[in-house]
Structure 1
Amino acid sequence: MAPTFHRSFVCLFFLHGVSMAASTPHVLIYSATEPETPILSPSMPRKDRTLFTDGNLSQYDALVFLSNTGEVLDDTGKDALQNYLNLGGNFVGIHSATDCLNTTELYGKEIGAYFDYHPEIQNATINVVDASHPSTSMLPAQWQIRDEMYNFKSDPRNVGAVVLLSADESSYTDDGERKYDQGSPHPTAWYQEQGAGVQDGGTPGRSFYTSLGHLNETWHDETFMAHIMGGIQWALDANTTRAFNSSASVGNGDASAAETTSSSAPEASQS
């Protein structure tokens, strides 16, 4: 189940970005899901994936894949995603974003690892491995949370990711079968200073991923939202996009957008 999203999330992001960038960073939040076996019918519109073109993606300073599952991009969209990353675009994945595009190598590298399985949702303890990161600096050393404790098909450290949060496996019950080595401590959130999905010769932006965020009520929790917002702001601070670097190849370079977005933000927050 994907979280219910409100425009206030986008508004909050822009308000953070206005004071820190020459122009307002633009972020595309992509939350499409697809069944394991695609069912083509008029009742299942696929318009969102048409946003993944070189021209459209070039406007954004970061892409946020939010709770996606399944084959959410066609070949044209995957090519556009690759081009965007090669040009310095930043990437953020949230929750089940590790459970989509499961056979697309560039995506697997950029997000860090693919989802394997999770035990039933329950209370658990998350240990902060690195408290110096903007996504974790506000968290208690042992963070009590009710969520899905993801297991992964590989260790994100294998592509250069740095683990930020770790699930305390003694704090919850997991009777599932572990078939893969995800490394230790148990990865729950991580970052890549240079996203591994970039091809040779490209300009790597940053990549951030957190597996948390299953329950709707979690998205009303200030601590969780600070974790998410810290990760997004950190990704943008890569200085590889136009909002922060006028010589960059992608992102919003319109300085006037900051004033426009700031003045319209209260209205945009209405859901």
Structure 2
Amino acid sequence: MLGGCAVRERHAAAPEPVASPLRILVFTRTSGWRHDSIPVAIETLRELGGEAGLQVEHSEDPMQFDADTLSRYRAVVFANTTLDVLDVAQQQAFERFVGAGGGYIGIHSAADTEYDWAWYGELVGARFDSHPPGLQASPLRFEAGHALAGTEGWQVRDELYNYRRNPRAHVDVIASADESTYAGGTMGADHPIAWCHTRLGGRAWYTGLGHDIPLYADPRFRAHLSRGLRYATGQSDDC
């Protein structure tokens, strides 16, 4: 007792636990053609990731592909990678990562990567075959449920790949190009250019766009990439 009044002990409220941010790894290693757009792709992904509450880390070190390191990430972005970028042990670690629910995003020449790795071919959905010279202009046709606000009538100008197979039977197609509007297309009336799937355990999302530097300033392309980030990291079920 103090001055006739009971002293009441005050207990501070326990602090709320701080949630760890979702991390993504942007991987840009190349052993073939190297795109001039890689630096702007990294910066764009950092900006879009920040808007989505994602912590974005970048590396070209294949040693990042081991179980302990990959466990830090919710998804890995192959941003304009080319040809052989991982050894067999690193490939196996990434297969386990995706099989356990890890996300994958492929941008443009991610489809021109790891031709001798059959599993990766299924992950990316379709492999690069060729492209017409220069840049191509085509309206994009979005599939039902995949269109984004502002993308109606989007006339994209970029390097549009032809793929070794039409991936439609294996993936959920997001958007297609119209070969009738440019020369050099080889896939005919059905030319998917972006798609997603969950066939290998985790969420996989690919866009064939991303060659040309100015495209990364286009709000429609940025919205397209943002949707891919949110889908691959499990923040949205819409790809």
* TM-score, normalization by structure 2: 0.76
Q: How does 1:240-251 map to 2 (within 5 A)?
A: none
Find the partner of 1:209 among 206, 211, 230.
206
> How many residue pairs were aligned?
202
SS at match of 1:229: helix
Does the aligned pair in 2 maintain the 1:29–1:64 contact within 8 Å?
no
> Do the aligned partners of residues 29 and 102 (structure 1) sit closer, same or farther apart at CA in structure 2, a change above 3 Å counting?
farther
SS at match of 1:170: helix
| Aligned residue in 2 for 1:152 | 163
- Structure 1, unpaired ranges of 5+: 19-24, 33-47, 199-203, 241-271
Q: Deviations over 1:38-81 (max 9, x none)?
A: xxxxxxxxxx1111111100110011000111101111110111
Find the partner of 2:179 among 169, 176, 182.
169
| Aligned residue in 2 for 1:11 | 46
Whether 2:203 is the aligned partner of 1:190: answer no
SS at match of 1:212: coil
SS at match of 1:80: helix
Distance across 1 between alignment mates of 2:224 and 2:87? 31
Does the aligned pair in 2 maintain the 1:70–1:99 contact within 8 Å?
yes
Whether 2:226 is the aligned partner of 1:229: answer yes
Aligned identity (percent) is: 34
Distance across 2 between alignment mates of 1:28 and 1:228? 16
> Do the aligned partners of residues 110 and 28 (structure 1) sit closer, same or farther apart at CA in structure 2, a change above 3 Å counting?
farther
How far did 1:123 drift?
Answer: 3.8
Whether 2:104 is the aligned partner of 1:119: answer no
CA RMSD of aligned residues (A): 2.3
Q: How does 1:100-139 map to 2 (within 5 A)?
A: 100-130=113-143, 132-133=145-146, 136-139=147-150
Does the aligned pair in 1 maintain the 2:168–2:192 contact within 8 Å?
no
| Aligned residue in 2 for 1:61 | 74
How far did 1:154 drift?
Answer: 1.1
Distance across 1 between alignment mates of 2:79 and 2:150? 21
How far did 1:219 drift?
Answer: 1.5
Find the partner of 1:95 among 89, 108, 120.
108
Deviates more, 1:182-191 or 1:224-233: 182-191
| Aligned residue in 2 for 1:80 | 93
SS at match of 1:208: strand
Does the aligned pair in 2 maintain the 1:128–1:140 contact within 8 Å?
no
SS at match of 1:69: coil
Distance across 2 between alignment mates of 1:188 and 1:234? 17
Amino acid aligned to 2:163: F
> Do the aligned partners of residues 190 and 28 (structure 1) sit closer, same or farther apart at CA in structure 2, a change above 3 Å counting?
farther
Larger Rg: 2
SS at match of 1:70: coil
How far did 1:131 drift?
Answer: 5.2
SS at match of 1:12: helix
* TM-score, normalization by structure 1: 0.68
Does the aligned pair in 1 maintain the 2:103–2:232 contact within 8 Å?
yes
Distance across 2 between alignment mates of 1:11 and 1:27? 6
Does the aligned pair in 1 maintain the 2:104–2:232 contact within 8 Å?
yes
Distance across 1 between alignment mates of 2:218 and 2:70? 30
How far did 1:29 drift?
Answer: 4.9
Amino acid aligned to 1:158: A
Does the aligned pair in 1 maintain the 2:215–2:221 contact within 8 Å?
yes
Distance across 1 between alignment mates of 2:103 and 2:169? 20
- Structure 2, unpaired ranges of 5+: 1-33
Distance across 2 between alignment mates of 1:156 and 1:184? 14
Does the aligned pair in 2 maintain the 1:167–1:187 contact within 8 Å?
yes
